[in-house]
Amino acid sequence: MINKDRLIKTFTELTAIDSLSLKERAMADIITIKLKELGLEVTEDNSGDITGSDAGNILARYTVPGKEDEPYVLFAAHMDTVGPGIGKKSIIHEDGRITSDGTTVLGADDAAGIAEILEALRELTEEGQPHHNIEVLFTVAEELYTVGASAFDISTIKADRAYFLDRAGDIGSVTMTEPTLICFTINIEGKASHAGFAPEKGVNSIVIASKAIASLNVGRVDENTTLAIGMIEGGVAPNVVPASVKVSGEIRSQVHEEALALLDKVKNTFEIEADKLGGKAVLESKVHLTAYTVPDNSRALSKYEEVLSELGVTCLKEKSLGGSDSNPFRRQGIDSICIANAMWDIHSENEYTDIDSMAKVTEIIKRLMTA
C-alpha cells in the first residue's frame, strides 16, 4: 500500500514553493536534499547558462550493486510552474480533492509528478524490493517550450526507456503523438505620417497586419494543425499612421511537413499584403518541438501497458497538440513516453488533483521501477 500521508505531505511541501519558470532555485535545492537522503547520486547541470534559469536540471542515479552494466529506467518531471504561481497554498478537501485557494494555480503540474517519483523511490528503499537501475530527472523551464530539457545533455543518460510524468487527464493516459510547434514573429514596416493632415503619405503597418491576418485561417486549420495569432504590438499614438507593428503567433501540427508548409503560407501572406501597400514584412521563426509518434513496438509503452493491466487500469492512448519534455528525448532517440500523473484543469486557478489518484500513479511508477 502506498503511504498516502507521506505522499501528500511531500506534495503540499513542494506546491508551497514558488517555482515559476526560470526561478526554480528553491525547488531544485529541496529536491536535491530529498534525493540525497534516499541515497541517490545527484548532479546539477549548467544549463542555466543557456536557459537563463537560476537553477540547472537535476539528474540523480541509483545503481544496483552488481548491475552496473545493466540498462537504467528514467523517470522525469519538471520543476517549474505557470503563473499565477506566487504564494500557492494546497487545500485538502474532505473528498480527497486538493486545490489551491483559487487565487493561484495549484502546481500539481508538475509537483504531482515529482512527489510521486520521490515516494516510489522511498518505498522501494524501505521495502528492499529488487528493482532496475534507476535515473530520475527534474528539469527547469518545461513550460517555456521545453527549453530546460532541450538544453540538457541527453548523451549522459544511461536509460534505454523513459517515463515523463506530465500528462493531464485520466490515470492510464499516455501521449502517443506530440506536435511540431513553431513560434514566429513578423515585423512589419510601413511609413509614419500624421493621421489627420496627411494619412495618404503614410503606410499603415497595422492595416497590413490586419489584412494578412484576415486572409489566413486562424484557429483550427484542420484535424492535424492549428494556427494562433497571439500578440500584436505597435503604434505610437491615435493620430499617427503606425510605421511598425509586430505580430507574434505559433503553429502546431501533428505532421511536421504541414507545419513547415503553413509557416511558408503565413510568411508569403504577410509579404504580399505588405507589398500591396508599399511596406515590408520580415518573418522570424523557431521550431521548439518536432512531431513524433510513439511506435507500437515501444518497450516503454509495452511495459506501461503491462503494469496498467496488472492494476486493472485501462491504457488510454491519446493524441496531443501540447508538448512535453519527452519531445526532445525522442528527438535524440530515447524511447520515452509522457504519462498521466494525476492533474486536471492545469494552467488555471481551478487546477486540482486528488489523493487516491496520486497514490495510484505512485504505484504505477513503483511497478515500472521493478517490472
Give residue 95's pLDDT: 96
Give residue 13's pLDDT: 98
Does the pLDDT value for residue 88 go beyond 90?
A: yes
Mean pLDDT of 156-185: 96
Predicted confidence band of residue 163 (pLDDT cuts 50, 70, 90): very high
Q: What is the per-residue pLDDT across 300-325, written as a single tens digit (0 to 9) for each?
A: 999 999 999 999 999 999 999 989 99
Does the pLDDT value for residue 371 go beyond 80?
A: no
Number of domain units in the chain: 2
Predicted confidence band of residue 68 (pLDDT cuts 50, 70, 90): confident
With a CB cutoff of 8 Å and minimum separation 6, the contacts of 191 are 201, 202, 203, 241, 243, 278, 279
Residues 148 and 296 in one domain: yes
Domain limit, last residue, from 250, 273, 289: 289
* 2 in Cβ contact with 121 (< 8 Å): no
Separation CA 167–CA 113 (nearest Å): 9
| Catalytic annotation present for 80 | yes
Q: What is the per-residue pLDDT across 225-255, written as a single tens digit (0 to 9) for each?
A: 999 999 999 999 999 999 999 999 999 999 9
What CATH number corresponds to the domain at position 218?
3.30.70.360
Give residue 129's pLDDT: 85
Residues 325 and 260 in one domain: no
Cell of 216: 489566413
Residues 165 and 185 in one domain: no
Give residue 220's pLDDT: 96
Give residue 1's pLDDT: 84
Residues 199 and 335 in one domain: no
Give residue 308's pLDDT: 98
Residues 8 and 156 in one domain: yes
Give residue 50's pLDDT: 96
With a CB cutoff of 8 Å and minimum separation 6, the contacts of 367 are 307, 310, 311
Q: Report pTM.
A: 0.92
Domain limit, last residue, from 289, 314, 330: 289
Q: What is the per-residue pLDDT across 12-48, written as a single tens digit (0 to 9) for each?
A: 999 999 999 999 999 999 999 999 999 999 999 999 9
Mean pLDDT of 360-368: 97
Residues 136 and 220 in one domain: no
What CATH number corresponds to the domain at position 15?
3.40.630.10
Give residue 86's pLDDT: 97
Give residue 366's pLDDT: 97
Residues 184 and 47 in one domain: no
Question: Exposure of 57 by Cβ count < 10 A (0-12 exposed, 13-18 middle, 19+ buried)?
Answer: buried
Q: What is the per-residue pLDDT across 94-113, written as a single tens digit (0 to 9) for each?
A: 999 999 999 999 999 999 99
Residues of the domain holding 285:
180-289
Q: Which of 24, 80, 109, 363 is catalytic?
A: 80
Mean pLDDT of 262-274: 98
Separation CA 32–CA 35 (nearest Å): 5
Predicted confidence band of residue 295 (pLDDT cuts 50, 70, 90): very high
Mean pLDDT of 109-124: 97
Residues 174 and 184 in one domain: no
Residues 124 and 261 in one domain: no
Predicted confidence band of residue 91 (pLDDT cuts 50, 70, 90): very high
Residues 211 and 355 in one domain: no
Residues 47 and 72 in one domain: yes
Weakest mean pLDDT among 44-48, 263-267, 289-293, 367-371 = 367-371
Residues 229 and 160 in one domain: no
Give residue 92's pLDDT: 97
Does the pLDDT value for residue 69 go beyond 90?
A: no
pLDDT above 70 covers what percent of the chain? 100
For the chain, the first-to-last Cα distance in angstroms comes to 17
pLDDT mean across residues, the chain? 96
Mean pLDDT of 352-365: 98
Q: Which of 123, 135, 142, 354 is catalytic?
A: 142
* 327 in Cβ contact with 139 (< 8 Å): no
Domain limit, last residue, from 241, 273, 289: 289
